[in-house]
Chain A
Amino acid sequence: MLHFIYACDLANYPQLQTTMFQDRARQFKDRLKWDVSVDDQGWERDQYDDLNPLYVILSDGGRHAASMRLLPTTGPTMVNDHFDNLLPDGRLHSAQIWECTRFCLAPGQGTAAASALQLGGGHIMQRFGVDHLVGVFDKLMTRIYRGIGASPDVMGTDNGICAGLWSFDDASFADLSRRAGIALDQVDTWFADSLATMGQGNANRP
């Protein structure tokens, strides 16, 4: 099942929240050996998690299976703040370009999960008027992206880290749907459910 959850609402999904941050530690710290911090709960988090990003999370039996994190490039983003060496012009800023980071697969999850996640990402873009996702990722992921039929366009590489762009058209949706084994109207339903829950319990005020 796909979920679309803002950071401020994550605590309403404690199992998803815990397993997502723990799987991020497994992938980014343990496997890829990135310089990231893991707290005493075994959660990998950084300052961008504190900017209230939107998470797209694929769950399997109530547990995290795959996830990505989205932030608008009109605000602080990892690529603009720390990786502008990977962008030929050093900065991307547009309401129609969002940044996607921490693309994570739980151990044992494979291409179907990755395709499902991309499908969720594409759906968000379509519904919210976003044309491109930009992301920083480890070069090792390039093969996985190719395998799921969602190859990013690589803009720059340095030291094994890449910045890439994704966009989706109808053909990519059809392809991802097939690879994920998830019908497009199923994604619609999950998205509508998430949106309905998003509006609730707004204790936070300006």
Chain B
Amino acid sequence: MAKQLETFLEHLDQASDQADLQANAQDLRDILKVDHVVYHWVSTSGQQYGCGTYGPDWVQRYVQQDYIRADPVVLGCYQRFHPVDWKRLDWSSKMARDFRREAIEYGVGNQGFSIPIRGPKGQFALFTVSHNCDDAVWAKFTEDHRRDLILIAHGFNQKALEFEGAAHRGPKKSLSPRETDAMTLLAVGYSRAQVAQSLAISEHTLRVYIESARFKLGAMNTTHAVARAMSQGHIVV
């Protein structure tokens, strides 16, 4: 699955319009073998944008009933910056329980995992994976895929911002000098210890440059990051 996710991230990076993003959401659902993958830009100005695999009947119902105001997932995530398992949210009110029952009727699934994302100028979006399964299965799934999902969530948000023509494209896509040096030396075949020594930094600090570069490049791991850095022309070896 790791290889599939790497390829997926390549495709995501190449998405050039909302139709592409929609196709990506569907691909990801198939790769992860879950019921649903959804990206939802939640705007205060009333503008909404979403793509994903929920059926049009649920989307319509959600919009018609203005569920965005009552959805415990949106409310629970809005003021947080950590990834949220739906089980931890407050489902105690009657409204929440009715909403949940209805969502399940529409096939959303009894389990969910949502990642809040913040962009420039107060932009807020949610990236969600939902599925029908028992708690143990879901706990394992979220544990195994948490880091990848965080990365993918930010990838979707970057694309959505790009399509909106947001003046600020988010983090600079270019690597900083240290990140470039680290990636170059890794590409040439230095071990981390050798890279750290060459750059006269500790291995801890090196890890952070690699991590920062990896995130900017939207890569799942170091090998993937090096490959992307080369193919995108950030480094030349």
Contacts and interface: CB of A to CB of B under 8 A. Distances in A.
B88 A205 contact: no
Interface in B204-237: 204-205, 207-209, 211-212, 214-216
Nearest to B148: A129
Chain A interface main SS type: loop
Contacts of B138: none
Interface stretch (B13-21, B98-106, B175-183): B175-183
Given A54-B82, A165-B205, A199 B88 contact: yes
A198 B171 CA distance: 29
Given A97-B211, A155-B205, A165-B208, A204 B78 contact: yes
9 contacts: A52-B81, A54-B82, A93-B212, A128-B146, A131-B211, A153-B204, A199-B90, A206-B44, A206-B124
A94 B204 contact: no
Chain B interface main SS type: helix
B208 A92 contact: yes
Contacts of B68: 206
Interface stretch (A35-43, A83-91, A175-183): A83-91
A129 B150 contact: yes
Given A97-B212, A198-B76, A206-B42, 11 more contacts: A8-B79, A71-B81, A74-B154, A89-B177, A89-B178, A91-B176, A92-B212, A94-B216, A95-B151, A95-B153, A165-B205
Interface in B28-72: 42-44, 68-69, 72
A199 B72 contact: yes
B83 interface: yes
B74 A93 contact: no
A66 B212 CA distance: 29
Given A206-B42, A206-B74, A90 B212 contact: no
Contacts of B216: 93-94
Nearest to A9: B79
Contacts of B177: 89
Nearest to B177: A89
B208 A74 contact: no
Contacts of A155: 205, 208
A167 B206 CA distance: 12
A128 B83 contact: yes
Contacts of A200: 90, 92
B85 to A, nearest CB: 9
Interface string A1-21: 000001010000000000000
B147 interface: yes
A72 to B, nearest CB: 5
A167 B207 CA distance: 10
Nearest to B43: A206
Name which of B124, B201, B215 has the most chain A CB atoms within 10 A of its CB.
Answer: B215
Contacts of A71: 81
B205 A206 contact: no
A74 B155 CA distance: 13
B124 A198 contact: no
B2 interface: no
A198 B205 CA distance: 33
A75 interface: yes
Contacts of A6: 79-80
Given A165-B204, A206-B78, A89 B215 contact: no
Contact of A205 (B75, B92, B202, B208): B75
B192 interface: no
A124 B68 CA distance: 28
Interface in B124-153: 124, 146-147, 150-151, 153
B208 A132 contact: yes
B118 interface: yes
B75 A202 contact: yes
A127 B201 CA distance: 29
B89 interface: yes
Contacts of A202: 72, 75-76, 78-79, 90
A151 B146 CA distance: 27
